[in-house]
Structure 1
């Protein structure tokens, strides 16, 4: 496989301001106090007691340049990652005491309920770490990590991880095929498959690549043989028949869309002139709309969906929002217009215009689940501008959702509206509980509670990665309505040294609410 430098969708470093962990864990003693990664200007803003920083988190999915190299023969693929310990702060034995089946099961069950948790999940998926002690199938954990990245819409990151691992194996080739189809860059994967047909277990892939290579007669013969021998499912056969003979589609009715198409089926529907709307499909398909080939509206919908999941940077979202002026009104266009108007106002620095535009755009971005993206873009530019009381309140919320939340919290300590959030931002147990949803459970999580027995047991066994996944699962359960689990999840994150994650997750839950799908 040709090796080249990629700019993968990975996690850039964040401003971190974590407290000393509530209990001592060996790996934390060696964690870096600051991460130096392309694009970061992070410094700790805490007090001396709060100066120990947390490594395995980030604000955004903005990507540093990553040099991708193939593995030597002595390296186990399950250990492959794009983020070394020097950048994540996570130890190399993250998974080494675990059974791969337990890790894979836990990864499949967790959800990213707020952007801070999404960032932590992405860090775990991309981290370099020793393979699990027990694994019944080669590459099992790597396959599960890549599959999760793809499902989350982090297709660029999955592509980079595949290249790092060298995907010319039977376990990784199907993922490589799907990723290249989603990204629209097929020549290399098809050449590889045609040179070694044993890599693909699905004959549909070989037929597609034969056609792509101009070998139409061979593709047609292979399809006919596969149908006769029952080696291909009927939908794939029908789609490939129309793909190979476009004129046939002119005299036959449109094919009913599947509820869960494969990536190849998605592209075949597109090729025969019956594209499937990506917004009705799993998130990974949203990546195909980012080119704008299906129109600006589809591009915006896809960008918003990926930004909510933390797999599209805030700057790229802004670029798509501001490509042109909306020619319609209502729904998504009102949000685009409001954002563009605010962006123009913040450029002028006119306080009155900024305040008016801010009060207008904030609820629209909240409705779309994009307050954290908005705060990353604009919170710093809002600070210090004289505005109305309503606009100042919105500005304070943006500040608390921004990467510099702790620094801005210092100015809000004596503001009764935000005193609770300001204490959470500084890692202090609140003296009074806010009436906001989740506030009581969050306050308890910052009051020094010990982690759950399950998390403690995993730590004693040296299963740090599983302990982090369990803390995420508890947080998720708490967001779903099991209040004590939210408290335990936050307490566990703090005990594990993931202070920045705990604070940002709590603030995001309080101000922006749970993430949308």
Structure 2
């Protein structure tokens, strides 16, 4: 529970910030892997009739001790601005189906919103059953993003030592190497899991090798283990077998337990072809530098790892070779050094190269979060570099401050600056995408397609629907973009709407 305690402490520190500021990242104190899941800001617009937070009656947060497992969260209502009745009027089936449709790499502003919804303290749909299905759907979505630590903290708050949740708890713990606690729980209460592989593994981890061997023989006789699981467990239980065994082909249906068993018998698997959550294993100090960078890039793309962690890996030492990941390491180090030295020409040269490489890796917004504030305050950059620095800084959380550096005589910059302030100028909307953005920011209420859900108190479902619509809008889905942004603004998610629109325009994503 140590990670959970650290998480909760950092969240309540963050809740003291004003709504005008981005929420503090979740700090995993003393944990080997740090995961940042920052909620989007809810920004009140005094001059635009936009609500301060979500426009719903205030609802008191239910104490965690009396909450059902489906209702637990890591972000309380006073942090998210969302009421605990967020999901209550929707059906469990409708919302969990939406969770299953979340894109693997959403637009960063929408990704942050997804994390807020997945981690919010809120009552489950009224028809949610007793099997923690709603919580499991949230955990599965977090795991697909690679956000294993928040998922683990969430399930720990729910009380995972139950048959309904134990298997998921053990799987998450196996991914980050903290399986001792769930294994002890299983050794004390074998009825927590019907998976014989888990029982055998955990019994052995508890030091009871004789019982583990007996369980193994029983499971083998009853045909309760797959062929791969049986071979791996045999080698795990009897290390002498490893020397006489042939290399095992990776299982087609990988599980966290199989992954750890391969590692235990001296056949560690690469994580690149596995689901994103397995990349967590490559962040351990025992992994090579390149493997750690590859894993960090993969996790940073979905916000499952804070950009600072990736920067630390990029700058850990001198690149070992050239090309590929080493080109990104060299470019990041060159830019960081140029920025430190304050030479405008050197900064301009290095910025162009590192930005190209970050865009190729879909890490543009992460780069902007690292350097946007510094770039916004730079003077003396040559013309093209100044324009690029402005756009990068507009992708950062400090986009409103960055907008002050826009050239009012440049129509493109003036439009972006107006958008950053929440008022994109209609006379400068010279593309269909800009016109869609203007329509959204001119709207005085939610889109008609979402209004019915809001009238039915299905706030969470309406937000999810708008977010999915925006994130999945095609190359000419301008109506979808406009409707989604309008609804996000109408429910008080002004910051999310502005950042999403800026990202669409600057990164030209999907247009």
TM-score category by the smaller chain?
0.7 to 0.9
Count of residue correspondences:
486
Within 5 Å, give how 1:247-262 maps onto structure 2. 247-262=240-255
Q: Aligned residue for 1:49? A: 47
Q: Aligned residue for 2:389? A: 395
Task: Please give the per-residue CA displacement for 1:211-237, whole angstroms capped at 9, x wherever unaligned.
Answer: 212222322221121121122222211
Matched-pair contact (CA < 8 Å) for 2:416–2:424: no
> Is 1:369–2:358 an aligned residue pair?
no
Task: Please give the per-residue CA displacement for 1:484-506, whole angstroms capped at 9, x wherever unaligned.
Answer: 22222222212222111111011
**1:205 shift after superposition:** 0.4
2:493 to 494, 498, 503: 498
Matched-pair contact (CA < 8 Å) for 1:242–1:248: yes
Query: What is the alpha-carbon distance in structure 2 between the residues aligned to residue 110 and residue 505 of structure 1?
Result: 16
Query: What is the alpha-carbon distance in structure 2 between the residues aligned to residue 458 and residue 279 of structure 1?
Result: 40
TM-score under structure 2 length normalisation: 0.87
Q: Aligned residue for 1:108? A: 100
Query: What is the alpha-carbon distance in structure 1 between the residues aligned to residue 212 and residue 267 of structure 2?
Result: 21
Query: What is the alpha-carbon distance in structure 2 between the residues aligned to residue 242 and residue 134 of structure 1?
Result: 46
Task: Please give the per-residue CA displacement for 1:296-324, whole angstroms capped at 9, x wherever unaligned.
Answer: 11100111111110111111111111111
Task: Please give the per-residue CA displacement for 1:459-492, whole angstroms capped at 9, x wherever unaligned.
Answer: 1110000000110121123146533222222222
Q: Aligned residue for 1:127? A: 120
Q: Aligned residue for 2:379? A: 385
Over 3 Å counting, the alpha-carbon distance change for 1:482 and 1:47 in structure 2 is: closer
Which consecutive unaligned segments of at least 5 residues does structure 2 have? Answer: 26-37, 55-62
Query: What is the alpha-carbon distance in structure 2 between the residues aligned to residue 247 and residue 76 of structure 1?
Result: 47
Over 3 Å counting, the alpha-carbon distance change for 1:437 and 1:303 in structure 2 is: farther
Query: What is the alpha-carbon distance in structure 1 between the residues aligned to residue 423 and residue 392 of structure 2?
Result: 20
Query: What is the alpha-carbon distance in structure 2 between the residues aligned to residue 496 and residue 37 of structure 1?
Result: 18
> Is 1:77–2:63 an aligned residue pair?
no
Query: What is the alpha-carbon distance in structure 1 between the residues aligned to residue 464 and residue 132 of structure 2?
Result: 20
Q: Aligned residue for 1:308? A: 301
Over 3 Å counting, the alpha-carbon distance change for 1:373 and 1:456 in structure 2 is: same
Within 5 Å, give how 1:93-492 maps onto structure 2. 93-111=85-103, 112-382=105-375, 383-412=377-406, 413-432=408-427, 438-448=433-443, 451-479=446-474, 482-492=477-487
Query: What is the alpha-carbon distance in structure 2 between the residues aligned to residue 163 and residue 183 of structure 1?
Result: 14
Q: Aligned residue for 1:63? A: none
Query: What is the alpha-carbon distance in structure 1 between the residues aligned to residue 198 and residue 404 of structure 2?
Result: 58
Query: What is the alpha-carbon distance in structure 1 between the residues aligned to residue 301 and residue 52 of structure 2?
Result: 23
Deviates more, 1:194-203 or 1:221-230: 221-230
- Tell me the secondary structure at the aligned position of residue 81 of structure 1: coil
Query: What is the alpha-carbon distance in structure 2 between the residues aligned to residue 109 and residue 423 of structure 1?
Result: 33
**1:35 shift after superposition:** 6.3
> Is 1:5–2:5 an aligned residue pair?
yes
Matched-pair contact (CA < 8 Å) for 2:307–2:370: yes
Query: What is the alpha-carbon distance in structure 2 between the residues aligned to residue 184 and residue 381 of structure 1?
Result: 37
Task: Please give the per-residue CA displacement for 1:241-273, whole angstroms capped at 9, x wherever unaligned.
Answer: 122223333333322213441111111111122
**1:395 shift after superposition:** 0.4
Deviates more, 1:154-163 or 1:193-202: 154-163
**1:118 shift after superposition:** 0.6
Matched-pair contact (CA < 8 Å) for 1:181–1:264: yes
Query: What is the alpha-carbon distance in structure 1 between the residues aligned to residue 154 and residue 321 of structure 2?
Result: 41
**1:190 shift after superposition:** 0.9
Within 5 Å, give how 1:15-54 maps onto structure 2. 33-34=19-20, 48-49=46-47
- Tell me the secondary structure at the aligned position of residue 306 of structure 1: helix
- Tell me the secondary structure at the aligned position of residue 426 of structure 2: coil
Matched-pair contact (CA < 8 Å) for 2:72–2:154: yes
TM-score under structure 1 length normalisation: 0.86
Matched-pair contact (CA < 8 Å) for 1:71–1:166: no
